[in-house]
Amino acid sequence: MSKFYKIITYGCQMNIHDSEKIAGMLALRGYAETQDEALCDVIVFNTCCIRENAEDHAFGNIGALKQLKKRKPSLIIAVGGCMTQQQGEAEILREKFPFVDIVFGTHNLEAFGILLDRKLSTGKKVVEIKDSAGKIIEGVKPFRTSYPNAWVNIMQGCNNFCTYCIVPYVRGRERSRALINIFAEVNVLVKSGYKEITLLGQNVNSYGKDLGDGTDFATLIRKLSEITGDYRLRFMTNHPKDLTEELVKAVAENEHCCHQIHLPLQSGSDRILKLMNRHYTSEDYLEKVALIRKYMPDCAISTDLMIGFPTETEEDFLDTLRVCEKVGFSSAFTFVYSRRRGTPADKMEEQIPEDVKKDRIMRLVDFTNGQTRDFSVDYAGKVVTVLCEDFDKKKGLYMGRDEYGRMGYFSSERNVIGEFIDVKVTSVNGISLFGEIA
């Protein structure tokens, strides 16, 4: 008889890839994926605590399964990810959601299969949160559902302790995978037909620092250039303080690397950047932008921006807009600062009132949307090469990104998913391009 699972994932790309690993462990045990919860034998919540709303959302969705569990007691409900790794969270889950069967953290995600086996053989609740992250466990085969794209973790954790961020507390310190293992994984993916590989880490620019053998991210990028084939290479996310000239050169010289770099600015105010513990000034940031453009003049630079950090004044906010103006971002992810328990920023007294935050985020979104549109306008009439990722049922069009990250939509008589297609852009709408096969 078939066994089914569903994984509900919150948060970032790292979490989405972690869910692929959980899916791999379930597939190995004979489970198939379904979106129909009533059919499920296992439902896993892979949670995120980086933003408050993701956490609230997860709690709401876990609570909503209470009735299903009553009707189907054999259903196994598991909760893992960053949220469970926070101090006291496992106890909250135990008290508020006693029907949850398995609780696991980020440090033992790779052991999820073993925890499931234990639950099935003993029938007892399993709660296992490890305090510290050990060595990276190799060999968990992800069940990939994102063809032609594939994500490859190159490291875990973060050493930076930005004062607003919970990640170093719940994901531990930086641990890099051996270069040889990353090379082997990327090589297999390319040889098996994946067309876009994204290297993942909280700060990929500090890859290798813990390996102690002189390997760094530039070394990795150069090594990967030995892998031949028709594919693209991306990486995220970067930290401006660690982006070196040697790395930018390595990226520019690797013909597979996309000319798109995501470089989180967060704030354009030096005072706020200092309070955030970001270790760069707005001037340093602009120098990194100049460095990228020196070697890749066409490079699209995208960013993360945060408003409403404690003590942020109108002038600080305007500094952010000024830096945005100078850079000309291809796109920006904009966030309202959200208090995270246990972080230094949470203890700062002068929190910004909600109405001020609301006003600033609206102005920021307006501004960055304008930049996004300006970047797109230049596309009109051009031929761009997109990697077709999927068919958009609503639009009735195929969709794919160009190397700068713009999504293009076009029609085709045949299925072209997984192919590089030249598209002539006939119209532009915000971040989206529309066109026809050239």
- The CA distance from 11 to 300, in Å, is 24
Cβ-proximal residues to 195 (8 Å cutoff; 6+ apart), any chain: 148, 149, 230, 231, 232, 387, 418, 420
Shortest separation between residue 158's beta carbon and ligand SF4, angstroms: 3
Shortest separation between residue 278's beta carbon and ligand SF4, angstroms: 7
Binding status of residue 202 toward ligand SF4 by CB under 6 A: yes
Tokens of 155: 């490291």
> For 129-259, where are the E strands, in sequence order?
149-153, 155-156, 175-176, 196-200, 232-236
Site for ligand SF4 in 210-249 (CB under 6 A): 239
Shortest separation between residue 306's beta carbon and ligand SF4, angstroms: 9
Nearer to ligand SF4, 42 or 170 (CB): 170
- The CA distance from 41 to 161, in Å, is 39
Site for ligand SF4 in 11-70 (CB under 6 A): none
Site for ligand SF4 in 137-176 (CB under 6 A): 158, 160-162, 165, 167-168
Nearer to ligand SF4, 102 or 200 (CB): 200
Using omega within 30 degrees of 0 as the cis cutoff, is the peptide bond preceding 310 cis? Answer: no
Nearer to ligand SF4, 165 or 305 (CB): 165
- The CA distance from 122 to 244, in Å, is 52
Find the length of the chain.
Answer: 438
- The CA distance from 258 to 187, in Å, is 18
Binding status of residue 333 toward ligand SF4 by CB under 6 A: no
Tokens of 385: 């090469």
| 109 DSSP 8-state letter | G
- The CA distance from 188 to 157, in Å, is 25
Nearer to ligand SF4, 176 or 254 (CB): 176
Site for ligand SF4 in 364-383 (CB under 6 A): none
CA distances from 330 to 263, 297, 376 (A): 11, 13, 8
Shortest separation between residue 157's beta carbon and ligand SF4, angstroms: 9
Nearer to ligand SF4, 50 or 78 (CB): 50
Nearer to ligand SF4, 165 or 336 (CB): 165
Dihedral sign for Cα atoms in the order 416, 418, 421, 427: positive
Nearer to ligand SF4, 158 or 425 (CB): 158
**What x-and-dash track marks residues 268-297 binding ligand SF4 by CB under 6 A?**
------------------------------
Shortest separation between residue 223's beta carbon and ligand SF4, angstroms: 24
Using omega within 30 degrees of 0 as the cis cutoff, is the peptide bond preceding 34 cis? Answer: no
Tokens of 288: 């990194």
Tokens of 45: 């919540």
Shortest separation between residue 168's beta carbon and ligand SF4, angstroms: 5
The conformational region for residue 124 under phi > 0 = left, psi -120 to 50 = alpha, else beta, is beta
Binding status of residue 406 toward ligand SF4 by CB under 6 A: no
Shortest separation between residue 319's beta carbon and ligand SF4, angstroms: 19
Nearer to ligand SF4, 24 or 168 (CB): 168
> In 3D, which of 310, 314, 306 has the Cα closest to residue 336?
306
Nearer to ligand SF4, 78 or 263 (CB): 263
Beta bridge partners of 128: 104
Shortest separation between residue 176's beta carbon and ligand SF4, angstroms: 14
* Strand order across the beta sheet in which 260-262 lies: 260-262, 300-307, 331-336
Shortest separation between residue 73's beta carbon and ligand SF4, angstroms: 39
Shortest separation between residue 397's beta carbon and ligand SF4, angstroms: 35
Give the distance between the most distant pair of CA atoms in the chain.
64
Shortest separation between residue 151's beta carbon and ligand SF4, angstroms: 17
**Binding residues for ligand SF4, total number by CB under 6 A:** 10
Nearer to ligand SF4, 220 or 236 (CB): 236
Nearer to ligand SF4, 133 or 165 (CB): 165
Question: Three-class SS of residue 345?
Answer: helix
CA distances from 387 to 49, 143, 153, 185 (A): 32, 21, 22, 21
Q: Which of 47, 203, 205, 219 binds ligand SF4 (CB under 6 A)?
A: 203
Binding residues for ligand SF4, rule: CB under 6 A, are 158, 160-162, 165, 167-168, 202-203, 239
